[in-house]
A and B are shown apart, each in its own frame.
Chain A
């Protein structure tokens, strides 16, 4: 398992985390290349079918990250995301996906270092969990 290199998709909001990840780059902080970012206007936009879709297509782990609750670009969208996340956890569990495969976090535009830490921590976590092999089941469950 030691040479397992996970595929991790990061869904991040444009205003905070995307900018935070830019800052990580500007500061030349290094982190694991296993994570690739997909940009959203806000975490409130992220519907969880999309996350399931990612798992069904071979993602081993997922990061969802947006603005801090009080520092939010669009007054309440990330609260919605947060609330839906609670429901989604239950759903993940039901589908037999380890909830630790999804990292929900807040990274602001100023937190470049936090982004690097988040990525590395998630990559390590997923490495330990091993490859996600349940996607055939997911496809069977109609997610595809």
Chain B
């Protein structure tokens, strides 16, 4: 038999000014099951809370309703008070008679009656409440960082330096990401490699970080604090422990003419290669698609020259299984290459290059050793046209969003070009200059004012080649949209920043949401920018949207802080307001019919299949089961289940139906 205590608060005069609290207390006392009903000036004060706990003890209460302010305000306070008095905190409910009643209605009978309705509703609910235990989940204090660009590097270092283990997975042979390809970086023009390589080395040396390069995530299962990841270590075709990174094999490999991805196709590399000299780890891989041995069965020159006999032609991919408590997605972005733009020649003209190619050309360690040499004939380009928004802000041929970084790197490119070719003429076609950032606008102005970069406001209509020149047809909308032509030696397209080709598949693998462009979605665009909607998985860098280095690093540190906060607990405690599928005694076991409608509706993939087997091990039925680590208690599944087999603790069918009935059947006897 229920023994409910009702405590009505005056909130100074906040409630009592419009609600007749004494009348409410009297009415509450008459509700069947209510054994104690009082009103008091400030329920949340110490003496108020004291009243609640002593009543629990003295009257053996089985449930408590505090009629006061919003539960969003003081529910934790009163639940704590109940717990201290030995009553399960989930047997305490609040009736909101302040925000939803006394503050919003005039003084009068109707308002008092509404307050009584609210109290009656919550009393009906609390009678159906069940004692719930908070859910405790253990936390594995190792983080998995996917992607070793600057964002992944920063996140790994921050987590490792806060004393936790990190497993960093990078799909390329070396970490470094796009930043390692850059020449100098805006807005300070410091050399990218110079600031990046120390960080890369730190990663290699930090005892808390395990680096799996040339590796990819195979699968991820589990939930916050308790993920299981399988990582595929692709075969490097050599024994990393034996290899000293001497580079002899790379020098001697006869297959030398493979377009280097790292050099954005402008340079060549051998079949056994290290992407760039400062690579971490500085160990080569054999590119099996191009190596003569794998193609024709002959060569093995690298094996012969290797002083440590490290080459392993028959090495197979290896799967490593790890347990981690949190995941940081830092897989970065990609840019569109020139071949998507019909009017700019579908990528046919060798001297129409993209931004990354320009970076490699400008880089002192690049294929031209930092000299401006156009790809077709190696001539120094005298006139260079830069085209901003190439494929960005272009729903017809590219993407509708602004890629954010290209205005800045275009200004940088034009500037670097002028620094290297003093008599050269750089022109930039632009639509708007987006330079919102510390020292960014000043940087662009410097390009214009000090380095003489000519900005022309308009979008280029077409590029074609004639007599070794590129004819760029544009218009200046600030001069009456008059068409104009520039005979350029080289054109640099600031092509759109887009998601990695594999981004969607990876998101599905780890169950995080992504937008229509396959960038990963943050949990809230303003207030939870480094979290995903899946608890325990965080975001860093350009995998969320195109970003520059400062932003990528800031977000990476933010994600690392979130991971460190998670790892500061041994166990996670969560409110048990989650879904459960009913379980009954045999022979029924559960009313669940196994339709799994709930599974398809759950936004968090929290519903699993469970096989119920008899003692002989024979399958009796397959029913739904909620993973308490994943369920967020949204209740979508509950509304969909036709057999009413799944219910949500704290908002159960029984509870909400009791509420509705109590609310509407004023004065009628209890249900």
A144 to chain B, nearest CB (A): 10
Of the residues B106, B533, B634, contact of A45 by C-beta under 8 Å: B634
Known interface pairs A57-B664, A80-B636; A25-B603 also in contact (CB < 8 Å)? no
CB neighbours (8 Å) of A110 from chain B are: none
Q: Are the C-beta atoms of B114 and A33 separated by less than 8 Å?
A: yes
Q: Which listed residue, B99, B110, B650, touches A25 by the CB 8 Å rule?
A: B99
The residues in A between 62 and 120 inclusive whose CB is less than 8 angstroms from any CB of B are 73-77, 80-81, 84, 116
The interface-forming segment of B184-192, B412-420, B497-505, B652-660 is: B652-660
**With A74-B603, A84-B639 given, is the CB distance from A57 to B513 under 8 Å?**
no
Check: B98 CB closer than 8 A to any chain A CB: yes
Contacts of B105 in A (CB 8 A): 30-33
Complex Cα distance, B513 from A118, in Å, reads 32
Least Cβ distance of B294 to chain A in Å? 45
Tell me, yes or no, whether A127 is within 8 Å of chain B by CB. no
Q: Complex Cα distance A70/B622, Å? A: 35
Interface range, B side: 35 or more
Question: Are B635 and A44 within 8 A (Cβ)?
Answer: yes
B25 part of interface (Cβ distance < 8 Å)? no
User: Are A38 and B121 CB-contacts (below 8 A) given A9-B663, A74-B634, A76-B636?
Assistant: yes
- How far is A37 from B100 in the complex, measured between Cα atoms in Å? 8
Is there an interface contact between A45 and B111, defined as CB atoms closer than 8 Å? no
Query: Which residue of A38, A46, A73, A77 is within 8 Å of B659 (Cβ)?
Result: A38
Contacting residues, chain A, for B533 (C-beta < 8 A): 75
Q: How many residues of A are counted as interface, with CB atoms below 8 angstroms from the partner's CB atoms?
A: 43
If A30-B105, A33-B110, A76-B603 touch, whether A47 touches B639 (CB-CB below 8 Å) is: yes
- B366 interfacial by beta-carbon distance below 8 Å: no
> Which chain B residue has the least Cβ–Cβ distance from A37?
B100
Contact A19 B639 (CB under 8 A): no
CB pair A45–B639 under 8 Å, yes or no, is: yes
Tell me the residues in window 117-158 of chain B with beta carbons closer than 8 Å to chain A beta carbons.
Answer: 117-118, 121
A22 x B72 contact (CB < 8 A): yes
Contact A75/B513 with A33-B114, A50-B657 known, Cβ cut-off 8 Å: yes
Q: A2 on the interface (CB 8 Å rule)?
A: no
Given contacts A33-B111, A44-B634, A74-B603, contact A26 B99 (CB under 8 A): yes
Interface assignment of A41: CB less than 8 Å from any CB of chain B:
yes
Kindly identify, within residues 66 to 117 of chain B, every residue whose CB is under 8 Å from any CB belonging to chain A. 70-72, 96, 98-101, 103-106, 110-111, 113-114, 117
B554 shortest CB reach to chain A, Å: 24
Contacts of A116 in B (CB 8 A): 104
Tell whether, in the assembled complex, residue B663 and residue A40 are in contact, meaning their CB atoms are under 8 Å apart: no
Q: Which residues of B contact A28 (CB under 8 A)?
A: 103-104
Q: Contact: B72 with A54, CB < 8 Å?
A: no
The reply on B632 being an interface residue by CB < 8 A is yes
Report Cα–Cα, A75/B606, bound state, in Å: 13
With beta carbons under 8 angstroms apart, the residue of B71, B601, B638 that contacts A47 is B638
Against B, the Cβ 8 Å flags (1 = close, 0 = not) of A10-26 are 00000000110110111
Tell me the bound Cα distance from A74 to B648 in angstroms. 15
Decide if B665 is an interface residue (CB 8 Å cutoff): yes
Expressed in whole angstroms, the Cα–Cα distance for A81 and B604 within the complex equals: 16
Q: How far is the CA of A24 from the CA of B96 in the complex (A)?
A: 13
A residues in contact with B636, CB < 8 Å: 42, 44-45, 74, 76-77, 80
Cα distance A25–B97 in the bound complex, in angstroms: 10
The CA-CA distance from A82 to B119 in the complex, in Å, is 30
Which of A30, A31, A36 has the most chain B CB atoms closer than 10 A to its own CB? A36
CB–CB A36/B96 < 8 A? no
Query: In the complex, how many angstroms separate the beta carbon of A130 from the nearest chain B beta carbon?
Result: 17
Q: By the criterion CB–CB under 8 Å, are B121 and A36 in contact?
A: yes
Contact B664 A41 (CB under 8 A): no
Q: Which residues on B sit within 8 Å (CB–CB) of A54?
A: 660, 664
Within 8 A of A (CB), among B625-652: 632-636, 638-640, 648, 650-651
User: In the complex the two chains form, is A80's CB within 8 Å of B648's CB?
Assistant: no
Q: Which residues, 555 to 603 on B, are CB-close (under 8 Å) to A?
A: 577, 601, 603
> Which residues from chain B contact A25 at a C-beta distance below 8 Å?
70, 98-100, 103-104
Q: List 29 A-B contacts (CB under 8 A).
A: A21-B99, A22-B70, A22-B96, A24-B99, A26-B103, A33-B104, A34-B110, A37-B96, A38-B663, A39-B71, A40-B656, A41-B577, A41-B651, A44-B634, A44-B635, A44-B636, A45-B636, A45-B651, A50-B657, A50-B660, A53-B661, A57-B660, A59-B664, A73-B634, A75-B513, A76-B603, A77-B603, A80-B636, A80-B639
Binding site for B on A (CB under 8 A): 5, 7, 9, 18-19, 21-22, 24-26, 28-34, 36-42, 44-47, 50, 53-54, 57-59, 73-77, 80-81, 84, 116
9 closest pairs, A vs B, by CB?
A45-B635, A25-B99, A74-B634, A44-B636, A25-B103, A47-B639, A57-B664, A77-B636, A33-B105
**Could you list 17 further interchain pairs (A-B, Cβ under 8 angstroms) beyond the known A36-B663, A44-B634, A77-B636?**
A9-B663, A21-B99, A22-B99, A25-B99, A33-B105, A33-B114, A36-B118, A37-B100, A38-B660, A38-B663, A41-B634, A45-B638, A46-B639, A53-B657, A53-B660, A53-B661, A77-B635
Residues of B within 8 A of A (CB): 70-72, 96, 98-101, 103-106, 110-111, 113-114, 117-118, 121, 513, 533, 577, 601, 603-604, 632-636, 638-640, 648, 650-651, 656-657, 659-661, 663-665
